[in-house]
Amino acid sequence: MNQLLDRAQQLFPYTQRIRRDLHRFPELGFQEHRTSGVIARELENLGLEVTTGIAETGVVAQIESRHPEPVLMMRFDMDALPVVEETNAEYASQNPGVMHACGHDGHVAIGLTVAHLLKEMRNELNGTVRLIFQPAEEGLDGARRMIAEGALGETTPKFALGAHVWNEKPVGWLGVTPGPMMAAAEIFEVEITGRGGHGALPNLAIDPVNAAAQIVVALNAIVARNVSPLQSAVVSVTSIRGGETFNVIPPKMRLQGTIRTFEPEVRSIVLERFEQIVNGVAASAGCEANIDLKSLTPAVVNDAGVAQQVMNSARMILPDSTILSDFRTMGSEDMAFFLNEVPGCYIFVGSANPAKKLDAPHHHPKFDFDEAALTLAAALLTGAAVDLLS
């Protein structure tokens, strides 16, 4: 299998060229027209049949072997973020205000490299690999739309794989975690209505500012008092707005924030307590609360069996890597929707290199990573696919 790593390394100039080209021309979710064109062109150059225009800019192609089944799907996201790049890299964004600050340019490059490797290894393949290039991962519902528009194909895949370059960890590190590994994300907006009045006559008003402040503090009790100390959750109020000036009590206040959980039981306790606390505290202040709670993504849950097989493949293909099997993050990812449909494994691939100053966090204007991670990811995904299908 180490031939696979060698071959992936030979393809590095290609991988790097694709990644840097996409990095120069980043596109926001559902607007990835140029990106989509690059993907389709490269896949067609390999002689693959390509379907474009799924969920606007999504692209799907299949590597087929003598055995049509089972099918294994791999998903690569392709959107950039509204961030002004500050890396000074020679391949920095030429699209002002838009930047590949999460590494999805790298994910596309990994996907196209995997296509090359699998095409060459077709004779060793006992099934079909379906490559899914997905738009709009960054909170825009791209995965759900891809699935709704038929990205999974006629034969539902038996396995799903995907990977994210991960700058919290150095290149050479892998996170392959069975079970929940990225959080379910909800976003909330709360409107607190009181009665406005003069700042000097609070007794004649019903003060929503005071109510909002008490709600923010009271919400901390959920994680502290309702979630088991051995489990995790986050309740973050990230915006509190209302009022214009010092002597007017405003009639309304607005809170916004996010809730993150892993286990469905914890999620329902947190959501239930959230509503009780917001409504209860608002009522105790004489105000009314209106809660708008939206689920963004479910938790990313890896299938234990598939994760174990990926771990075995990783030890063979990347024997020098450090593999962690219990790494989890409160970040969220819409790969969760694919993994709800198909048992699979989402892999974190360490990509930081502090010595080269390539270690800024994801979504930061100086985000950049060690491109060696792309080769490791491509070799691992290819090898794991061949192993899972055999």
Please state the closest distance from residue 364 (CB atom) to Zn ion, in A: 11
Nearer to Zn ion, 102 or 211 (CB): 102
Nearer to Zn ion, 313 or 332 (CB): 332
Site for Zn ion in 125-164 (CB under 5 A): none
Q: How many residues of this chain bind Zn ion (CB under 5 A)?
A: 1
**Dmax (CA) of the chain:** 82
Site for Zn ion in 79-108 (CB under 5 A): 102
Cα separation, 242 vs 376, in Å, equals 50
Is there a contact between 184 and 330 (Cβ–Cβ < 8 Å)?
no
Please state the closest distance from residue 100 (CB atom) to Zn ion, in A: 10
Please state the closest distance from residue 17 (CB atom) to Zn ion, in A: 21
Q: CB within 8 A of 99, min separation 6: which ones?
A: 26, 80, 81, 83, 84, 85, 93, 365, 367
Task: Work out the angle at residue 265's Cα, subtended by the Cα atoms of residues 264 and 270, and round it to the nearest 5 degrees.
Answer: 95
Please state the closest distance from residue 146 (CB atom) to Zn ion, in A: 15
**Reduced to 3 states, what is the DSSP secondary structure of residue 118?**
helix
Please state the closest distance from residue 249 (CB atom) to Zn ion, in A: 40
Site for Zn ion in 300-339 (CB under 5 A): none
Please state the closest distance from residue 127 (CB atom) to Zn ion, in A: 28
Is there a contact between 5 and 379 (Cβ–Cβ < 8 Å)?
yes
Phi, psi of 246 (to 5 degrees): -75, -20
71 binds Zn ion (CB under 5 A): no
Nearer to Zn ion, 50 or 140 (CB): 140
Nearer to Zn ion, 17 or 363 (CB): 363
Please state the closest distance from residue 166 (CB atom) to Zn ion, in A: 9
Q: For residue 202, say if its preceding peptide bond is cis, omega within 30 degrees of 0.
A: no
Nearer to Zn ion, 173 or 367 (CB): 367
Site for Zn ion in 158-197 (CB under 5 A): none
Please state the closest distance from residue 4 (CB atom) to Zn ion, in A: 25
Please state the closest distance from residue 363 (CB atom) to Zn ion, in A: 6
Residue with the CB atom nearest Zn ion in the bound state:
102
Cα separation, 196 vs 205, in Å, equals 6
243-268 burial by CB neighbour count: b if 16+ within 10 A, else e? beeeeebbbbbebebbbbbbbeebbe
CB atoms within 10 A of CB 292: 10
Query: Of 387, 314, 385, 312, nearest to 348 (Cα)?
Result: 314
Is there a contact between 270 and 140 (Cβ–Cβ < 8 Å)?
no
Cα separation, 128 vs 141, in Å, equals 26
Nearer to Zn ion, 102 or 147 (CB): 102
**Reduced to 3 states, what is the DSSP secondary structure of residue 79?**
coil
Nearer to Zn ion, 102 or 385 (CB): 102
Is there a contact between 107 and 59 (Cβ–Cβ < 8 Å)?
no
Nearer to Zn ion, 62 or 87 (CB): 87
Q: Which residues bind Zn ion (CB under 5 A)?
A: 102
